[in-house]
Amino acid sequence: MDKITYYDTMQSPIGELMLVSDGKALTGLYMANQKHAARRAKAIRNEEMLKHPRTQLQAYFAAELREFELPLAAEGTPFQQRVWRALCDIPYGETISYGELARRIGQPKASRAVGLANGQNPISIVVPCHRVIGANGSLTGYGGGLARKRWLLAHESKGSLI
């Protein structure tokens, strides 16, 4: 028997977002035209199920929230899970390099693998893969596009909460 998946969409300053849940936790947050995006084929639209994540995202975009408090359940390999957990430890408004992220998970020579895992993060924004940049400070690849990454980093660098 297939698992039931729920979804809803919302508008944001960076375009439409699709939120996905297994009924207990957020399992995906995708931007329009994002690489590795989920499909809606077997998902049921349910606004109520995704009300809490939507409310927190609205507060984030309004500069009223810096840390999300949501149950998360991203599916991935054990290595990807380690990378995604480490992403959640990068403070709001700060950036680190792929090499630093690799060091933080105890695999300093795995910056390329960390980059791949980062790029396959299914819960963008909440699991802040946009906070990882190139060693030289450049904005390297981002599944949602570099313009969105630039916007998210600029949004967080403003730093003031209302």
Range of the domain at 102: 78-157
Identify the pLDDT of residue 42.
Answer: 76
pLDDT class of 1 with cuts at 50, 70, 90:
low
Tokens at 13, concatenated: 């300053």
Residue 91 and residue 151 in one domain: yes
Identify the pLDDT of residue 162.
Answer: 40
Is the pLDDT at 131 greater than 60? The verdict is yes
Whether 162 maps to a domain, the answer reads no
Kindly report the CATH number assigned to the domain that includes residue 20: 3.30.160.70
Residue 46 and residue 89 in one domain: no
Is the pLDDT at 2 greater than 70? The verdict is no
- Between the alpha carbon of residue 73 and those of residues 24, 28, 62, 121, 127, the distances in Å are 9, 8, 25, 11, 11
Residue 33 and residue 87 in one domain: no
CA distance 153 to 94: 8
Is the pLDDT at 84 greater than 60? The verdict is yes
Residue 82 and residue 54 in one domain: no
List 26, 83, 127, 129, catalytic entry: 129
Q: Is 129 a catalytic residue?
A: yes
Identify the pLDDT of residue 12.
Answer: 96
pLDDT class of 136 with cuts at 50, 70, 90:
confident
Residue 87 and residue 43 in one domain: no
- Tell me the pTM: 0.89
Kindly report the CATH number assigned to the domain that includes residue 145: 1.10.10.10
Residue 51 and residue 104 in one domain: no
- Between the alpha carbon of residue 5 and those of residues 2, 49, 57, 108, 137, the distances in Å are 9, 10, 20, 36, 38
Is the pLDDT at 149 greater than 50? The verdict is yes
